[in-house]
Amino acid sequence: MVELDNQKEEPIPSDYNEDSDDSDSTQHSDESDFEDSSADKDGDSSSGSSDSDSDSKSELEDGSPAQDNSGDSEDAESQDEDDVKSEGGSEGSDIHQEGVGGDESDSSEDEVAPRNTIGEVPLKWYEDEPHIGYDIKGKKIKKKEKEDKLGSFLANVDDSKNWRKIYDEYNDEVVELTKDEIKIVRKLMKNQAPHTDFDPYPTYVDWFKWDGAKHPLSNAPEPKRRFIPSKWEAKKVVQYVRAIRNGSITFDKPKEEDDAYLLWEDDSGLTEKANHLAYVPAPKQKLPGHDESYNPPLEYIPTQEEINSYQLMYEEDRPKFIPKRFTSMRSIPAYENAMKESFERCLDLYLCPRVRRKRLNIDPESLKPKLPNKKELKPYPITCYIEYKGHEGAVTSISVEASGQWMASGSSDGTVRVWEVETGRCLRRWEIGEAVNCVTWNPLPDIHILAVSVGQDVLLLNTGLGDEEEQQRIKELLLVDSPKASEETGKKAPSVSWLKDDKHDGIRLRHLKTVTSVEWHRKGDYFSTVMPAGESRSVLIHQLSKKLSQKLPFKLHGLAVRSTFHPSRSIFFICTKKTVRVYDLLKRKLIKTLYTGLKEASSIAVHPGGDNLIVGSKEGKLCWFDMDLSAKPYKTLKCHPKDINNVVFHRSYPLFASCSDDSTAYVFHGMVYSDLNQNPLIVPLEILRGHANSNGRGILDCKFHPRQPWLFTAGADKLIKLYCHY
């Protein structure tokens, strides 16, 4: 250290030496604390520093000589100092630092030649002077011209380095800090060692070599306690042991590894799942086909056009997987949807209700029931045998006479005709003048009366058939006393008035509302009429012999559509839109209600046995009721796409038929067995086509021949056809 001082002092000119020292000290007191500390710290850092130290740094370490020196000497000096440092190591530097306690850190000093030498006097003294002090040779240092504020501001704004410029009042100059200096400042602000290369935690180097040493550091013998077990520890152990024995210290159980073991040891006895609810195993995933192969046959790869066309499809229809082809296994990429598909499967597994569905792997044909051979069910109407032409409007209704020789038809052109069945000859023709709704023959073979419903009237016409005796009786029957009628009008609310119809030589029953259908009782004396709009009087029963009309003593639920009599007993059926109500006329009570389940029934027919009936509906369904069985249909046949207009049973053959607006008539085999345990057999036999559609209406009525398996159909195309069994 002494040596160092000598070296330093040698090149310094003696004149201003003391002076400068003074100034240093004063200056230092002026400087802020932070500079001071920086100096200290820098001194510390010097232990790790080497030759690469910058000039400024060296100055920081010992500023006093540097300040006095000219630039050259200073450089040399700093170098010297560095040398010393490298030699002396850390200890030397420490001492050195102490010696240079009052440092001055001003980097700009070496750059400018004229230095102020006024020392640490208040600058106020020079405020009014033109100079700021004296340089090293005693010359006055002139004050620089002050820039006005605006000018300096503008200069500052333009200058990007402005932020690192500091005005040095003492020397009256602007000092620009270098990058290194700024780094140091920043480090200081963070309370770190200012020098970047400084390592606060150097690895400790043990300079003393222990292993080669002959003698121990201490010559004292090993103490005895090193060879004796510790008493205190023994006590502690005993304490622990006791505690363990007492159970006051418990240990953590060793971690259990959930290893596999033989879980299903004896499962031979088990047959059922333990879960009491029916367990449905998850369905297995679909196995991949050729198209999922990495190298599928070429024909499995869709063309670009096809792929484009997928975009036009609905999203559900769009194929989820588009086959791709890779020519070698190394070119297969990772499947991007692997996780997603697995996740979706997971969702399916725990979020979807599982239902066991039978997968039918059968021929769809085998679903169809095996029908008995149709040939065995013969005879039934097959082919059109005769067409009856003559009507000029749609034939709305037909009726066959009990003997089967005559057939009557009513048409929307306002005529009623009587045809000879076998020849097709038109026997008679009445001009009613209004569209005919319904025609029906009296079921007795000797009473040739025809009931015709026209608008609000029902006409009873004498057809003029049969021998004279019969004619006499008919005429008697059709005789109406007008006063009687007037008598009835005197009563309150006459629902029907029996009038004599002179024009057609019959009776006219005037109703309140439009009559849609007329149905005779089997004995030929009673007949019922239905006026759907008649509300409580919609179904009326008339007695021909007494010329009496009475309304039904039952409340009707729903709109009456048709009515019919039981073929052998005094039971009366009223078909409303949704139900069929069965009444006993003698006991005057409701026997049962049959629920059709249809939207709108349109027609009803009773099996000649009386226990079965069929109902046709406007949605094209045909319901077969077995009245002994249930109030619901035994069978519902959906055969027609359009409204069924009429259904009818054959009187003797096991046949029934339906006709519809789709211009077809279906003929069914409907066998009813006398054995109550055997259900009726229903076999569809034939679809009769031939009628043309006109104005959306097809076949309006169909009737069976009373003795032959023949079917008459009345079409909206003005034709009546007879289908025969050969």
- DSSP conformation class of 302: P
- Least Å distance between CB 707 and other proteins? 18
Q: Using alpha carbons only, how large is the chain's radius of gyration in Å? A: 63
Q: How far is the CB of 192 from other proteins (least distance, A)?
A: 28
In whole angstroms, how close is the CB of 691 to other proteins at the nearest point?
12
Residue 722 CB, nearest approach to other proteins (Å): 10
Q: Which is nearer to other proteins, 236 or 273 (CB)?
A: 273
Select 101 or 289, whichever has its Cβ closest to other proteins: 289
Shortest reach from residue 456's CB to other proteins, in Å: 34
Distance CA 639, CA 668 (A): 11
Residues forming beta bridges with residue 565, ordered by sequence position: 572
Shortest Å, Cβ 383 to other proteins: 5
CB 623 within 8 A of CB 597: yes
- Cβ(620)–Cβ(584) under 8 Å? no
Q: Which is nearer to other proteins, 161 or 375 (CB)?
A: 375
> Tokens for 545?
């012999």
Residue 198: Cβ within 10 Å count: 18
Nearer residue to other proteins within complex by CB, 237 or 282 = 282
Query: Beta-carbon neighbour count of residue 61 at 10 Å?
Result: 26
Question: What gap in Å lies between CA 159 and CA 147, rounded to an integer?
Answer: 15
H-assigned helices in 464-619: 468-477, 482-490
Secondary element (H or E) of residue 309: helix 304-310
Distance from chain centroid for Cα 358: 26
Q: What is the DSSP string of 620-678?
A: SEEEEEETTT-SS-SEEEE--SS-EEEEEE-SSSSEEEEEETTS-EEEEEEE--SSTTS
Residue 492 in contact with residue 477, Cβ under 8 Å?
no
Nearer to other proteins, 117 or 658 (CB): 658
Q: Would you say 33 or 336 has its CB closer to other proteins?
A: 336
Least Å distance between CB 295 and other proteins?
4
> Contact at 8 Å (CB) between 600 and 579?
no
Q: Which is nearer to other proteins, 99 or 684 (CB)?
A: 684
Give dist(CA 149, CA 171) in Å, integer.
Answer: 20
Specify the residue, 241 or 332, whose C-beta has the smaller distance to other proteins: 332
Q: Which is nearer to other proteins, 166 or 687 (CB)?
A: 687
CA 22, CA 653: separation in Å to the nearest integer? 149
Residue closer to other proteins by CB (options 28, 718) is 718
**Residue 348 vs 434, nearer CB to other proteins:** 348
Q: Please give the structure tokens belonging to residue 166.
A: 């500091």
Question: Which of residues 109 and 717 has its CB atom nearest to other proteins in the complex?
Answer: 717
CB of 333 to other proteins, least distance (A): 7
Give exposure, 546-580, as e/b (b: 16+ Cβ within 10 Å). Answer: ebebebbebebeebbbbbbbbeeeebbbbbbbbbb
What gap in Å lies between CA 234 and CA 608, rounded to an integer? 117
Q: How far is the CB of 284 from other proteins (least distance, A)?
A: 6
> Minimum CB separation from other proteins for residue 296, in Å?
6
Indicate the SS3 state at residue 528.
Answer: strand
Residue 395 CB, nearest approach to other proteins (Å): 15
Question: Minimum Å distance from CB 613 to other proteins?
Answer: 18
- Classify strands 457-462 and 449-454 as parallel, antiparallel or unpaired: antiparallel
CB nearer other proteins, residue 139 or residue 340 = 340
Q: How far apart are CA 628 and CA 139, in angstroms?
A: 145
CB 514 within 8 A of CB 437: yes
What number of CA atoms fall less than 13 Å from residue 418's CA on the CB side? Answer: 20
Smallest gap from Cβ 414 to other proteins, in A, equals 23
Sheet hosting strand 601-606, strand order edge to edge: 601-606, 612-617, 621-626, 635-638
Residues making up the chain, counted from first to last: 726
378/655 Cα distance (integer angstroms): 10
Q: Give the nearest distance from C-beta 316 to other proteins in angstroms.
A: 13
Rounded-to-integer distance, Cα 646 and Cα 658, Å: 6
Distance CA 569, CA 110 (A): 142
Q: Taking the complex as a whole, how short is the minimal distance between the CB of residue 399 and other proteins, in angstroms?
A: 19
- Of 39 and 637, nearer to other proteins (C-beta) is 637
CB-neighbour burial class of residue 584 (10 A; exposed 0-12, middle 13-18, buried 19+)? middle
Rounded to 10 degrees, the C-alpha dihedral 82/11/96/56 comes to: -50
3-state secondary structure of 554: coil
Contact, 694 vs 394, CB < 8 A?
A: yes
Amino acid found at 238: V
Nearer to other proteins by C-beta: 201 or 264? 264
Extended beta strands in 111-187, E state: 131-134, 140-142, 165-168, 173-176
Shortest reach from residue 437's CB to other proteins, in Å:
26
**Least distance between other proteins and beta carbon 364 (Å):** 4
Query: Of the two residues 113 and 339, which places its CB atom closer to other proteins in the complex?
Result: 339
- For residue 294, the tally of other CB atoms under 10 A from its CB is 13
Give me the amino acid identity at 170: Y
Closer residue to other proteins, CB minimum distance, 203 or 327: 327
Q: Write down the least CB distance from residue 608 to other proteins, Å.
A: 22
In the bound state with other proteins, the residue whose beta carbon lies nearer, of 282 and 533, is: 282
Question: Distance between alpha carbon 372 and the CA centroid of its chain, in Å?
Answer: 48
